A and B are shown apart, each in its own frame.
Chain A
Amino acid sequence: MLTLYHFLLLSAIVFALGIAAVVSRKNAVGVLIGIELILNAANINFVAFSRFTEHPKLIAGLAQPAALEGQVFAIFVIILAACEAAIALAIIINLFNTFGSIEIDEAQTMRG
């Protein structure tokens, strides 16, 4: 049967792959892809923990067999991932306009 271990295993693997992308990619968009993978792994963990730990209680009159706090946290992570992607792509486009490429090793000065 499905246990918490399965989901933690999956998210550990995805997290490690994200770290590998952040470390080994030179392309700024590749680094951003790695960050998205890392955030996604964290989200899998949040949702899995919220599913597998039980706090029977009432939330505003609605009977709740399990805590939903983990899912709320996952929603905030998704919101912040959207913010981060928008800002990062704006910076990447600026980088391209300034240096003519998005290889992160070539951006070595504060002003182009």
Chain B
Amino acid sequence: MEGGLIAFWILAALIVASAGVAVFARSIVNAAYALFFSLFMTAGIYALLHADFLAVTQVVIYVGGILVLLLFGILLTNRSLEELITSSRRPYWVGSAIAGGIMAVLFGILVSTSWPEQSAQQLPATTAPLGVLLLQKYVVAFEFSSLTLLGALIGASYLVRRKERD
């Protein structure tokens, strides 16, 4: 086996295992840490796909930003450590059955479709062409996404403001 394939299987096993912990862990804090690990390994998958800029973006935004936010959310909304450990959930079999059905459908599509399979050539660094694409072809979407982000952040800080009780 070549190196890329070995790296892929190791990364994939780690991603699936830690995503499984994130889904089925009893403690929500453990789930958040498992999600952290899963997203971190996904950056490795991006690197395997020659998406260097995205790999770094994944680490900086997901792992450094969203997960810290998530942990703040967890720690701000738990009354006690006891509740944190015994977060209840619906019976396993409902979620597992639905997820299994969806997975079966996806696998069916995966096997029955013939996907394009050329690749294998080395890509140059993607950062410069991505920047050109974002600021020329997709500049409108880019600016709108920055406005969306601004609106979302202002909205979030408005939502969590301390309300004046009269």
Contact = CB atoms under 8 A, between A and B. Distances in A.
B138 A83 contact: no
Contacts of B98: 19-20, 23
A71 B51 contact: yes
Interface in A23-58: 23-27, 29-30, 32-34, 36-37, 40, 43-44, 47-48, 50-54
Contact of A87 (B58, B120, B152): B152
Contacts of B149: 79, 82-83
A89 B60 CA distance: 19
Given A6-B8, A27-B89, A93-B73, A20 B159 contact: no
A68 B110 contact: no
A29 B129 contact: no
A74 B130 CA distance: 11
Contact of A21 (B16, B23, B118, B153): B23
A75 B134 CA distance: 10
B102 A72 contact: no
Interface of A is mostly: helix
State which size class the interface on B falls in: 35 or more
Given A36-B39, A68-B126, A71-B51, A10 B16 contact: yes
Given A26-B87, A79-B145, A89-B70, A16 B156 contact: no
B90 A26 contact: yes
Interface of B: 2, 4-5, 8, 12, 15-16, 19-20, 22-23, 28, 31-32, 35, 38-39, 42, 45-46, 48-51, 53-54, 57-58, 61-62, 65-66, 69-70, 72-74, 76-77, 79, 83, 87-92, 94-96, 98-100, 102-103, 106-107, 110, 115-121, 123-124, 126, 128-130, 132-134, 136-138, 141, 145, 148-149, 152-153, 155-157, 159-160
28 contacts: A3-B117, A3-B119, A10-B15, A12-B110, A14-B16, A16-B102, A19-B95, A23-B99, A30-B31, A33-B23, A33-B70, A36-B39, A40-B39, A43-B42, A47-B45, A47-B46, A47-B51, A60-B129, A60-B136, A68-B126, A80-B145, A81-B62, A86-B153, A89-B72, A93-B77, A93-B159, A96-B76, A103-B88
